[in-house]
Chain A
């Protein structure tokens, strides 16, 4: 536990927050960078994946593509993809911006599958009668999408964004090895200097950062849940109902087993 005490001492050491510090310091600069990379990558990924997911979810076309694509993307080693793309884009675009955009492209590619899957699964979860009713009311396909399907699917759509964002935060940590800034720089420089206080301090900072972002998304997911709509939780609810009669029967049977 002493190691953790030292790590927190490192985090709260005012010297590590002083502007103009050496390399990975000050901490707030790395934190802002991490936030910036994450925001840029998630916004671009969402701009690509959400419309695509809505289209597939609404029309039902390309369902197999989403399932196959998200499965295959999971198999890609993030570190390899990151280095591959920064090297390719680094040779096309000279200097620091090559590394920057190479990393952003890699982060975008890694965030797309989760966001796409969330958007698709969200729309898929909307009950068919609700959509049929909207159509019977005379809504256009666009109105059905924006006024019925997306609001009902919002918790799952945000769930996809949540998973994608966390994937980006985690990969951006590794991005320091491709020459980018961010909180990962603190860990990598700590490994280089063999300074465990710094390594652990950096790791704690990233973990807290990830947990806070995750909690924020969880909150938004809760707020956007339409009261009375039973998408998202549906599986759980019917399962609970299914498992209830069993317990009623089970108790006497178990007693019989004991006496036998």
Chain B
């Protein structure tokens, strides 16, 4: 029981080190994802760049960054920047898909109603892209929390400490506690994201219910499901 305060400390730091890259990654991926809609060249460049960044293994990226950022090798900044890069790399694909998923008819309708490009983006495209973005964000959240622990190898204090310390002392329980605590944080974050989705994207549930109902009553289910995206946007505005 004497180890409990240590585990709590490590957990809190682990959460802090996870939240920053998840939030930053999401914010950076929004404009980058929207950029991929502007043309084939933009899409190809952004997607290829992201997949190349994602190919760099974690520990090498952690130790390459000091040479670029001018930070110390054992600084948390390297970890946060590296995890943000990974978060952006995963998230851009999701935001790109999300903005592509918004129906062209809906966007045209918004433009016809006199929405400026800026207002149309924030009031029509962004909310309608929400469900797909949320799915991507959940992946980002889970993988970021799992990756933070590798940071212990460059001196970061997080739940990964239980892995290296447990290994040194040949204490299997300690490693096990670290794994379980990491999984619990991932689960907690996922529940929070799902709850946020329910609050911020209430029409998704209405959509799904409508789709289920229409599937039961008519053979034209795909048609009804296709329409419900538009119906959702009407409910919103």
Q: Please choose the segment from B24-32, B139-147, B201-209, B213-221 that sits at the chain A interface, where 4 or more of its residues have CB less than 8 A away.
A: B139-147
B146 touches A75 (CB 8 A): yes
Q: A77-B149, A243-B100, A254-B117 are in contact. Are A84 and B179 (CB under 8 A)?
A: yes
A77 touches B182 (CB 8 A): yes
Q: A243-B100, A245-B104 are in contact. Are A173 and B57 (CB under 8 A)?
A: yes
Partner of A246, one of B60, B101, B108: B108
Q: Is A206 an interface residue (CB 8 A)?
A: yes
Question: Closest approach, in angstroms, between the C-beta of B92 and any C-beta of chain A?
Answer: 15
Q: Is B175 an interface residue (CB 8 A)?
A: yes
A-B CB contact pairs (8 Å), 12 listed? A74-B143, A75-B142, A75-B143, A75-B183, A78-B150, A79-B164, A80-B179, A177-B153, A188-B153, A191-B73, A253-B112, A254-B117
Number of B residues with CB within 8 Å of any CB on chain A: 56
Q: Which residues of B contact A86 (CB under 8 A)?
A: 167
A87 to B150, CA, bound (A): 18
Interface residues of B in 7-33 (CB under 8 A from A): none
Q: Is B83 an interface residue (CB 8 A)?
A: no
Q: Is B56 an interface residue (CB 8 A)?
A: yes
Q: Is A100 an interface residue (CB 8 A)?
A: no
Q: A75-B182, A78-B150, A83-B163 are in contact. Are A257 and B114 (CB under 8 A)?
A: yes
Question: Closest approach, in angstroms, between the C-beta of A161 and any C-beta of chain B?
Answer: 14
B179 touches A210 (CB 8 A): no
Q: Which residues of A contact B111 (CB under 8 A)?
A: 249-250, 253-254
A62 to B148, CA, bound (A): 31
B64 touches A203 (CB 8 A): yes
A88 to B147, CA, bound (A): 22
Q: Which residues of A contact B100 (CB under 8 A)?
A: 239, 242-243
Q: Which residues of A contact B56 (CB under 8 A)?
A: 207, 210-211
Closest to B139 in A: A74
Q: Which residues of B contact A84 (CB under 8 A)?
A: 172, 175-176, 179
Q: Which residues of A contact B123 (CB under 8 A)?
A: none
B59 touches A80 (CB 8 A): no
A76 touches B183 (CB 8 A): yes
A87 to B176, CA, bound (A): 11
A246 to B145, CA, bound (A): 40
A210 touches B163 (CB 8 A): no
